[in-house]
A = this chain, B = another copy of it.
Amino acid sequence: MPAIEARLKEIGVTLPTPVPPVANYVPFVISGHQLVVSGQICAGLDGKVAERHQGKIGGGLSPEVGKEAARFAAINVLAQAKAAIGDLDRIARCVRLGGFINCTPDFATLPQVMNGASDLMVEVFGDKGRHARTTVGVANLPLNCAVEVEALFELAR
């Protein structure tokens, strides 16, 4: 079993079947040694965004639930990465995550929410999972989901 698959099993993470794109875009593009993963929402294993992960952090949703949603979004990023390259061991580095948090205008502890995604990357990939990151609070996200995460990976040469 490839090392990253074994690691996912060890930490109890199951990757969902990636949802096929519903529009004229694709969930990932490989360009040279870069893998670009489209913004992934915090859908669960069943491909649906749970009610508890819909809405605004600082409004109906707590930061803890937001962190959980960020982890789900990151799991979907990994599912798309696996669909893109087959074997996650081919990832040389998680270069960057972009984190978009659906929040009220007065909610400011955005980094703690995004840590749900960042922590997963490091749990899964170790030092290769340590990434640059940009986290911002937005007015809304697709399907009212709480968190959306996009990613850039470097592939092994």
Contact = CB atoms under 8 A, between A and B. Distances in A.
Interface string A19-61: 0001111111101111011110000000000000000100000
Interface in A109-133: 109-112, 114-115, 118-119, 121-122, 129-133
Which of A28, A96, A107, A111 has the most C-beta atoms of chain B within 10 angstroms of its own C-beta?
Answer: A96
Nearest to A38: B132
A131 B26 contact: yes
Interface size class of A (residues with CB under 8 A): 35 or more
Report the copy number of this chain in the oligomer. Answer: 3
Contact of A132 (B36, B129, B133, B140): B36
B95 A31 contact: yes
A93 B93 CA distance: 23
Given A36-B132, A136-B138, A142-B108, A24 B150 contact: no
A60 B95 CA distance: 36
Interface of A: 22-29, 31-34, 36-39, 56, 93, 95-98, 100, 103-112, 114-115, 118-119, 121-122, 129-144, 148, 150, 152, 154
Nearest 9 interchain pairs by C-beta: A39-B134, A137-B140, A25-B133, A24-B118, A38-B132, A24-B122, A108-B144, A137-B139, A36-B132
